Amino acid sequence: MHTPINLAEIRQQNLLARGILTPQDLQRKKAAGEAISRTNANNFADIRRFSSMRHNKAAARDALHKKWLQQRSNSRIVTNIAEFSAKRDSDNDRFLLEASKEIPGVMSWSSRIGREILKLTNDYRATKGLSALQWNQPIHDVSLLHSHEMATKRKGFDHRGFSNRVDSLPFKARSSAENLFMSTVEHNFAQDAVNGWIRSPGHQKNLVGSFTLCGIGVEKDPSSGKIFATQIFTA
């Protein structure tokens, strides 16, 4: 029988090893009931929404993986990483990205490519002496929907509707910005996207902006091979 991967335990062991959390911290958080996953009803509703949008079993599976990651990202133990330095936030994102390469199903394809783009974005920000942006799952979900609509030709490759996307987030953003990228080459897609934005003054300004959160949604049009990325920043 296949044993389900316990991503929460992997995260906890990583945080313990790095000294970010102590065993006493974990016990206190567990006793307080702070590590709470989303309810099954919400999971099912979101999976149905994504599955209906894409009309295939693979999409439902990807949505399930995405929600699985989101459950753990929204737990108090992980959210409380924000109490520590930006470097440790970045380290945790890098750990999760590396884990996804070793353990199939840890996250969806869109989340994996999106986190690679965030890693490269933060690497570039570091060269400018700027703090790392934190991955935000709701921003990813909104970005993914826009990339999906561009890939399915429901919307053009442009920023129209950006204010509506920001307004749909479950929190109030004081400031926001958006970068878009499209390519037919999947190999090194994340690096190509960030390099392209760095070379474009307007996009580069967003990369080094005074933001704190970021999410990137990536979608592919199987008929044309075009891959679309939507990167949204907020503060």
> pLDDT, tens digit, for every residue of 73-118?
543 333 333 333 344 444 555 555 554 454 455 567 888 899 999 9
Model pLDDT for residues 177-207, shown as the tens digit of each residue: 999 999 999 999 999 999 999 999 999 999 9
Q: What is the pLDDT of residue 109?
A: 84
Sorting pLDDT into bands at 50, 70 and 90, what band is 70?
low
Residue whose C-alpha is closest to residue 82's, from 32, 44, 140, 133: 133
Nearest-5° angle of CA 136, CA 141, CA 142? 100
pLDDT, one tens digit per residue, over 108-144 is: 788 889 999 999 999 999 999 999 999 999 999 999 9
Mean pLDDT calculated for residue range 172-180: 97
Q: What is the 3-state secondary structure (H, E, C) of 138-183?
A: HHHHHHHHHHHHHHCCCCCCCCCCHHHHHHCCCCCCCCEEEEEEEE
* Residue-level pLDDT at 86: 42
Q: What is the mean pLDDT of the chain?
A: 77
> Tell me, what's the pLDDT at 17?
73
Q: Comparing 207 with 47, which gets the higher pLDDT? A: 207
At residue 145, the pLDDT reads 96
Cα distance between residue 82 and residue 88, in whole Å: 9
pTM, to two decimals: 0.59
Binning pLDDT at 50, 70 and 90, where does residue 62 land?
low
CA distances 113 to 7, 141, 173, 212, 222, Å, are 19, 13, 24, 20, 17
Per-residue tokens: 186: 């999947």
Taking CA atoms, 145 is separated from 48, 71, 108, 162, in Å, by: 14, 19, 14, 12
